[in-house]
Amino acid sequence: MTSEDLPNGFTGFSQRRPGFVSAGDALRRSRAERDALHVDTGSRGFRNTELQAARSGWQVPNVVKPEQGPGPEKSLWGKSNDFFPADMRKYLRVPEGGESGPQFDYEALADIPEVDKRWAWIEVDLGAIHHNTLAVKQLLEPGVKLMAVVKADAYGHGAVRCARSALSAGADQLGVATVDEAIELRDAGIGAPILVLAEPPSATIPLLLAYRIMPSVYTAEFAVQYAEAADSIGLRAPYHLKVNTGMNRIGVRFDEVIEFMRRVSFHRALELVGTFTHFATADAPDTMEFNIQATHFVETIAEMRAYGIDPGIVHAANSSAIIRYPEVHFDMVRLGISMYGYYTCPETYGVIDLIPAMSVHARITQVKTVPVGEGVSYGLLHRSGGFSKICTIPLGYADGYQRGLSDRIDVIMDGSKHPQVGTICMDQAMFEVDLRTRRSTGKLDPQIGDEVLVVGAAGNAVVTIDEMADLLDTVPYEICLGFGRSRLARIFTSSR
């Protein structure tokens, strides 16, 4: 069948609207334009490339602009690439041969900002870390050292950056939970003393010595292995002794410390440079158990000295005890959750000025009007009142936005609060904007791309990690870790 034999579309109409083009005319015109541009339709030409692209979900750009005219040098991937959108050219390397398809510049692709790849991220204000560290330093007597605890990736805030901010504010040492956490700091060029707050496995001893990492010690077996390894290569084996004063988690029991030291102190390489304990109830309203632990520790230190054992740097106070009990500051304090801006108990409110360092952000990915009575999200537990817009944001419980917060928390948009509605999903959550709400500029009008605060403050509206922790009957530590150690991008800022 030739072009002239093609049917002329619909028949039986005596009049056509202006601009009407029949199906036959459209096909003829398309074939004529193709022939005029001399596009190769062979197995290596445009049609094959178009087919492959269509199968993989891509749209192939126009091959040549009409004003460019025909010619093999105008092939799809040749030098003349004016048909590419301006924002795509910087991500491509166009080959000379012109037949190998698009070649992406993966270094350029790697430069696409994390917050543009997914519209959900956390921000960590390093200025707040610096401020909080200074605020605690002001509570200490001259000569009392401060250890900044940056375990668990600085409670989800980013260990390396937070460690540097704390050290710049006057922290003397760093505390971590694992050897790998310490190595990460060393690999980043941080030379401050680092203490692993629990005794590590004996297989890590070469790492401790190589990276100059201080272990906690509370078993004789580890102490001797550590000392033997160090002595075999002419090094000392420095450590901190962990004393169990009543929390009964780890450590040498307070009334067995002298016997323990007799068992291990014979080794010439061992060097006791610190002795510490941890309080179980420093944040509790009742002070009795705290006082019992503090007494056990003070008596243990005194007994060590009486037996001629130098305890080294004595430390016990965590964030709660630093603020509430200056009598247990001893030689050093360990600053944990309060460095990140959180009060540990009501008794610490007003004693010190802390600024939360973490905020959680997202952008709206869809806005919809849901008819009255229809449900939202899994279980359809929330029903639309018909006078609102449902907005979706791309983060969920896989990102730390815990499912237990569903229908119980707010988000902030344009400086005002709006309720999160429906079950929080693994990757997404929804909130509702009441269209009856008016502001000085008129009705709220959420749009795709508008920024939303999941945690943070804007205007007079505040949503806090403390609020989430209270709703879930947990502690801020867990909420921070949920957001900070998830797949959310982490952006560092410094507002101070």
Quote the CA–CA distance of 410 and 100 in Å, as a whole number: 52
Instruction: Give the chain's count of helices (H) and strands (E).
Output: 16, 25
Residue from 370, 319, 287 nearest 477 by CA: 319
Pairing status of strand 382-383 against strand 375-376: antiparallel
- 119: which residues sit within 8 A by CB, 6+ positions away? 362, 363, 364, 365, 393, 394, 449
- 43: which residues sit within 8 A by CB, 6+ positions away? none
Q: In angstroms, how far is CA 183 from the centroid of its own chain?
A: 20
Residue from 354, 417, 408 nearest 382 by CA: 408
3-state secondary structure at position 317: coil
Q: In angstroms, how far is CA 492 from the centroid of its own chain?
A: 10
155 phi and psi angles, rounded to 5 deg: 55, 35
| Options 90, 117, 378, 443, the catalytic residue | 378
Quote the CA–CA distance of 29 and 14 in Å, as a whole number: 23
Is residue 151 annotated as part of the catalytic site, yes or no?
yes
Is residue 378 annotated as part of the catalytic site, yes or no?
yes
Q: Which token pair is 158?
A: 């980013």
Contact 304, 257 (CB under 8 A): yes
3-state secondary structure at position 128: helix
Contact 242, 252 (CB under 8 A): yes
Helices (H), 38-125: 46-55, 86-89, 106-110, 114-117
Quote the CA–CA distance of 242 and 264 in Å, as a whole number: 14
Contact 394, 428 (CB under 8 A): yes
| Options 74, 145, 151, 389, the catalytic residue | 151
Residue from 352, 421, 342, 347 nearest 388 by CA: 421
Q: Which residues are catalytic?
A: 151, 378
